[in-house]
């Protein structure tokens, strides 16, 4: 029933209430019950006669100006922005417990060291190469302050208070972390959130308490680019699966061990793993069909888009319960709501809320307002002595409005070119496209190329840190989230993102020389570094640090149903050997190697 992120579940036949509401389209009854529905506007409507001199609205205003925006998408926008704020909250909340151990002053890879290296390599362009507030200060205290600001801003954004400012604060604080976290932020999910978060700055309504934002509906290009991101996450992931040549996708065996071998499995995945092979093959085929074909329904008429939403959204829920992909699938699920419109959502909203929402959907015709929201009649009604001041303010608003429009047009057009070019470069790597605009935006991660699970991993490997005082008897450091204890059920904790545990999964698929994460962590454990120890469930050496620390590699498998019934264990494992050098501290306080690892069996 499930496939790879971000597309993973067959439509549940039981999602009947939503599906019925979408398709029960008796126009007469709807108009009688919801008289405001006829006022809703589709994004596909052409520029209407409006304030621009009584002629068809200038296409730049029609595309980029929210005052000429898509008035029929207010409810989907409200839902998406609440979800986006909640996702930001989950990202900052998880960092509160990890950021000092990851990139703090005494962390595994301090942000200060990374920024110093950037300053040496790019002295003139360091602020562009690493756009982060951590340039001001990268102490652990400063990192926590910026994280708390982001967390508070996400709550304010969720409450729909001054959304343009609160979402900007969320974006800036999260960009600051991603730009300075090195390997700890090298995830596609981080790019997805930054891209959606940046486009959302042009998508949110204006005002302190805008409600549905009927006076500033979403601009058509910002709406399209968020839908475009949703489409590209799926379609580009499907393309890379085919282009990678991975045998498991060609033979439809990609799902046979997927639930076991993913970064952080769930207990639901254990049960799905034991379903018959025909089921796994069907979900592998369904994943490819969804990613390569079904998502094109986005560009078809309204009712087809609703069908697409009813298929893809339950599928996405399947990903969430069978694998912990942090906030990735929640973001993709939230973007999917932008396939809908107000007409499709109002009938399924409880009546006590619908009556409050429907009046907010009534919007004034843009022709009734000037370009600055101030009518000419209001200027003439002003006292003569106040008229010059009001005229100056009127002119300033007009110029500021023009600047905002220009910024939106340039930024959103740039993102569309960048993302389109990067998608075309997946199958056509030699196509002669200008790449300078792509490189210029790269540090901001707001226009990305996606491609999830191009090649499936063939085994599950776990790195385990161990400490000893005699070099003979070893005690393991217990992890918070990674599989370790054989009788402990894998849990569901997404959208929370344990970045340390995630990075160790990637490190286990390669040699320790390719990533400093493991030996750097060993060094910190030899010092009983409290910030790094907070990344573990507990410290087995609370009184004093161990004399020796090592990292070993295990291979893990789900137990069979018979094994689980007899032993109660969810996992079985096999020891493969020393993964990284065994380290100790000399009397002079230097780190020394006690034993070098031998060549491990092939694992990928």
In a domain, 280, yes or no: no
Is residue 11 very low, low, confident or very high in pLDDT (cuts 50, 70, 90)? Answer: very low
Q: Which residue matches tokens 């796994």?
A: 280
Residue 16 pLDDT > 70, yes or no? no
How far apart CA 302 and CA 341 sit, in angstroms, is 9
Asked, for residue 416, whether it belongs to a domain, the answer is no
Which carries the bigger pLDDT value, residue 375 or residue 65? 65
Cβ neighbours, 10 Å, residue 512: 21
pLDDT-derived band at 7 (thresholds 50, 70, 90) equals: very low
Q: 531 CB contacts (<8 Å, ≥6 apart)?
A: 100, 101, 104, 106, 107, 140
Find the domain containing 481 and state its range: 460-595
Question: Burial level of 61, CB count in 10 A (0-12/13-18/19+)?
Answer: buried
Torsion of CA 552, 522, 141, 146, to 10 degrees: -40
pLDDT average, residue stretch 471-485: 96
Looking at the domain assignment, is residue 45 inside a domain? no
The mean pLDDT value for 411-425 works out to 97
pLDDT digit string, tens, across residues 181-200: 999 999 999 999 999 999 99
What is the residue-averaged pLDDT of the chain?
87
Q: For residue 452, tell me if it sits in a domain.
A: no
CA distance 461 to 260: 10
Residue at 441 is within a domain: no
DSSP SS3 for 178:
helix
The pLDDT score that the predictor gives to residue 353 is 64
Q: How many distinct structural domains can be found in the chain? A: 2
How far, in Å, CA of 100 to CA of 110, rounded?
Answer: 9
Total-model pTM: 0.87
Count Cβ atoms within 10 A of the Cβ of residue 398 and give its class: 0-12 exposed, 13-18 middle, 19 or more buried.
Answer: middle
pLDDT of residue 380: 58
pLDDT over threshold 80, residue 77: yes
Paired residues of 381 in beta bridges:
none
Mark which of 328, 360, 392 sits at the end of a domain: 360
Together in a domain, 349 and 487: no
- Residue 379 clears pLDDT 70, i.e. is over it: no
Integer Cα distance of 73 and 212 in angstroms: 10
Among 217, 204, 216, 202, CA closest to 405: 202
The answer to the question of residue 122 being in a domain is yes
How many C-beta neighbours within 10 Å does residue 158 have?
Answer: 18
214 with 84, same domain: the answer is yes
Q: Show the tokens assigned to 352.
A: 């006590």
The predicted model gives 498-504 an average pLDDT of: 97
Q: Would residue 331 count as lying in a domain?
A: no
Does 47 score more than 80 pLDDT? no
Contacts of 458 (CB under 8 A, 6+ apart): 257, 261, 604
Assess whether 198 and 83 both reside in one domain.
yes
Q: Are residues 87 and 200 in the same domain?
A: yes
As given in the structure block, the two tokens for residue 456 are 């499936």
Tens of pLDDT, residues 515-564: 899 999 999 999 999 999 999 999 999 999 999 999 999 999 999 999 99
Q: Which among 331, 360, 389 is the end of a domain?
A: 360
| Tens digits of residue pLDDT in 358-377 | 655 554 444 444 444 444 44
* Torsion, Cα of 198, 158, 189, 441 (10° steps): 10
The answer to whether residues 355 and 499 belong to one domain is no
Q: Do 350 and 489 fall into the same domain?
A: no
**Vertex 422 angle, CA 417 and 428, to 5°:** 120
Instruction: Kindly report, residue by residue over 261-310, the tens digit of the pLDDT.
Output: 999 999 999 999 999 999 999 999 999 999 999 999 999 999 999 999 99
pLDDT at residue 209, as a whole number: 93
Closest CA to 551 of 494, 496, 508: 508
- 105 and 243 inside one domain: yes
Instruction: Tell me if 504 is assigned to some domain.
Output: yes
Residue positions counted in the chain: 604
Give tens-digit pLDDT for 96-105: 999 999 999 9
Could you tell me which of 208, 216, 201, 136 has the C-alpha nearest to residue 169?
201
């Amino acid at each position: 029933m499930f496939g790879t992120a971000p597309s993973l579940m067959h439509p549940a036949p039981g999602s009947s209430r939503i599906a019925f509401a979408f398709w029960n389209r008796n126009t007469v009854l709807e108009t009688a019950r919801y008289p405001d529905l006829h006022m809703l506007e589709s994004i596909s409507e052409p520029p209407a006669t409006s304030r621009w001199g009584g002629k068809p609205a200038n296409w730049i205003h029609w595309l980029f100006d929210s005052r000429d925006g898509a008035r029929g998408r207010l409810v989907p926008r409200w839902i998406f922005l609440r979800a986006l704020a909640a996702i930001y909250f989950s990202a900052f909340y998880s960092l509160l417990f990890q950021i000092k151990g990851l990139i703090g002053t005494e962390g595994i890879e301090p942000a200060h060291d990374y920024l110093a290296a950037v300053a040496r390599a790019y002295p003139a362009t360091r602020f562009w190469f690493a756009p982060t507030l951590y340039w001001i200060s990268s102490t652990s205290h400063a990192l926590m302050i910026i994280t708390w600001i982001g967390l508070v801003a996400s709550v304010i954004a969720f409450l729909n208070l001054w959304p343009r400012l609160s979402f900007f604060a969320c974006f800036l604080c999260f960009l600051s972390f991603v730009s300075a976290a090195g390997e700890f932020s090298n995830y596609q999910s981080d790019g997805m959130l930054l891209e959606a978060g940046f486009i959302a700055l042009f998508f949110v309504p204006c005002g302190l308490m805008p409600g549905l934002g009927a006076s500033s509906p979403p601009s058509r290009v910002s709406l399209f680019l968020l839908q475009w991101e949703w489409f590209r996450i799926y379609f580009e992931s499907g393309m890379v699966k085919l282009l990678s040549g991975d045998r498991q996708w060609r033979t439809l065996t990609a799902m046979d061990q997927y639930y076991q071998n993913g970064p952080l499995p769930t207990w639901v995945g254990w049960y799905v793993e034991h379903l018959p092979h025909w089921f796994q093959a069907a979900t592998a085929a369904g994943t490819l069909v969804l990613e390569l074909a079904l998502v094109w329904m986005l560009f078809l008429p309204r009712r087809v888009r609703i069908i697409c939403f009813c298929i893809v959204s339950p599928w996405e829920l399947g990903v969430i319960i069978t694998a912990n992909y942090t906030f990735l699938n929640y973001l993709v699920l939230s973007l999917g709501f932008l396939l809908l419109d107000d007409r499709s959502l109002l009938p399924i909203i409880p009546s006590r809320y619908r009556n409050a929402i429907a009046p907010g959907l009534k919007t004034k015709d843009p022709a009734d307002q000037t370009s600055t929201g101030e009518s000419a009649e209001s200027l003439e009604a002003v006292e003569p002595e106040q008229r010059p001041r009001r005229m100056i303010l009127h002119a300033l608003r007009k110029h500021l409005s023009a600047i905002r429009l220009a910024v939106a047009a340039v930024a959103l057009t740039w993102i569309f070119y960048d993302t389109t070019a990067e998608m075309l470069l997946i199958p056509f790597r030699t196509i002669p496209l200008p790449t300078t605009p792509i490189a210029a935006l790269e540090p901001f991660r707001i226009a990305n190329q996606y491609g999830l699970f191009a090649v499936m991993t063939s085994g599950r490997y776990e790195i385990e840190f161990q400490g000893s005082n005699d070099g003979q008897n070893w005690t393991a450091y217990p992890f918070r989230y990674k599989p370790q204890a054989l009788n402990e059920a894998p849990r569901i904790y997404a959208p929370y993102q344990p970045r340390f545990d995630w990075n160790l999964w990637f490190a286990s698929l390669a040699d320790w020389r390719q990533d400093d994460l493991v030996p750097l962590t060993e060094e910190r454990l030899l010092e009983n570094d409290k910030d790094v120890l907070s990344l573990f469930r507990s410290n087995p050496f609370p009184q004093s640090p161990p004399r020796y620390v090592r990292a070993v590699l295990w291979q893990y498998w789900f137990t069979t149903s018979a094994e689980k019934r007899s032993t109660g264990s969810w996992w079985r494992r096999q020891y493969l050997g020393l993964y990284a050098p065994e380290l100790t501290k000399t009397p002079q306080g230097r780190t020394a190697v006690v034993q070098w690892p031998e060549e491990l069996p092939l694992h990928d």
